[in-house]
């Protein structure tokens, strides 16, 4: 079987698997990185949202063979290290607002939130209600209001 290599949470990893297997399954089933969750497999629920080169994406829709050797994949497990701390400010904000209920979607929510704040900052503006309305991640427990509050808190500290 072909080998595929990419960077995962700061380390080079190599997997031996068919190239069309989506990255979500490479992470979860082969590498044991279970922070990104399955909720639909078609990029709708966004429970698996992680970062590739600092941008949000859904690993359930990326064949592993499409990753370059230098592509940096960051999952929730690797998020704190991107700021050299035990927790990323967005995770701190999530704790402060006690956002999680069942917690299943929250890794994806946090990764989506961090990417949103970065993108908005690059555009040189502050987060708006419309930005928050535009987040597509589903939370079936309905933690949406606390997610909105936490993103504003986290954004202020990023």
Partner 1 sequence: MSRTAGPDASEPGAHPVGRRRFIGYVLAGTTLVTAAGLLPAAGAAAEEGARAADLTDVVDLNDVMTLAAEPTAYLIRVEVHDDGTVSFALPRAEVGQGITTSTAMLIAEEMDLPVDRVRVTLADARPELLFNQLTGGSNTTISTYTPVRVAAALARRRLLEAAAAELGTGIDGLTVRDGVVSDGSGRSRDFGSLAAAAASARTERAEVRLKAPGDFTVIGAPRGRVDALDAVTGRKKFAMDLDVPDALPTMVCRAPTINGTVGSVANLEEVARMPGVTDAGVVSTGVAVRAATFGQCIDAVRALDVSWEAGTVDGMSDDDVLRDLGRAEAPMLPRPPFSSTVDEKFTFHFRSNSALEPNCAIADVRPGSAEVWAGLKAPIVARGAIAARLGLPPGAVTVHVTESGGSFGRKLFFDAALEAAEASRLFGKPVKLMWHRADDTRQGRTQPMATSRVRISHIGDRVLRYDQRHTGVSTDLGHGFGDVITAMAAEIPGLDGTFAQVFFQLSQATSYDFGLGGRLLNEVGRGFNTGSMRNVYSPNVVCARELVVDRLARELGRDPYEFRRDHLKDERSRAVLDKVAEVGAWGREMPPDTAQGIAFMHEYKADCAVLVEIDCRRETVERPVRNGVAGPRVTKVVLAVDVGLAVNPLGLEAQMQGGVMDGIALALTSGLHLEDGHFLEASWDNYFYTRQWNVPPEFEVIVMPGTGEPGGAGELAVAPAQAAVACAYGRATGTMPTTFPVNHGEPSFEPVPTVPPVPAPPADGLDHVD
Q: Which is nearer to partner 1, 59 or 155 (CB)?
A: 59
Question: Which secondary structure element, helix H or strand E, spans residue 15, and what is its range?
Answer: strand 11-16
Minimum distance from residue 11 beta carbon to partner 1 (Å): 16
Q: Which is nearer to partner 1, 18 or 156 (CB)?
A: 18
Q: Which is nearer to partner 1, 63 or 83 (CB)?
A: 63
Inter-residue contact 111 to 152 (CB < 8 Å) = no
Strands 55-57 and 72-74: unpaired
* Residue 50: half-sphere exposure toward Cβ, Cα within 13 Å: 27
Minimum distance from residue 62 beta carbon to partner 1 (Å): 4
Minimum distance from residue 12 beta carbon to partner 1 (Å): 19
Residues 6+ apart with CB under 8 A from 150: 90, 93, 94, 96, 97, 99, 113
Q: Which is nearer to partner 1, 40 or 156 (CB)?
A: 40
Minimum distance from residue 129 beta carbon to partner 1 (Å): 6
Token readout for 62 is 């990326």
Minimum distance from residue 90 beta carbon to partner 1 (Å): 9
Determine the number of helices (DSSP H) and then strands (DSSP E) in the chain.
5, 5
């Amino acid at each position: 079987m072909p080998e595929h290599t990419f960077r995962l949470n700061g380390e080079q990893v190599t997997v031996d698997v068919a190239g069309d297997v989506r990255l979500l399954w490479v992470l979860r089933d082969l590498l044991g990185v279970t922070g990104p969750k399955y909720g639909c497999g078609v990029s709708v629920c966004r429970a698996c949202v992680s970062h590739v080169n600092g941008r949000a994406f859904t690993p359930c829709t990326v064949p592993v063979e499409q990753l370059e050797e230098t592509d940096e994949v960051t999952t929730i497990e690797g998020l704190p290290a991107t700021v050299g701390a035990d927790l990323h400010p967005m995770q701190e904000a999530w704790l402060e607002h006690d956002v999680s209920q069942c917690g299943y979607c929250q890794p994806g929510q946090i990764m989506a939130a961090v990417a949103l704040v970065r993108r908005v900052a690059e555009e040189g503006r502050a987060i708006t209600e419309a930005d928050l309305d535009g987040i597509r991640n589903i939370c079936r427990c309905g933690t949406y209001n606390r997610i909105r509050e936490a993103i504003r808190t986290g954004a202020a500290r990023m």
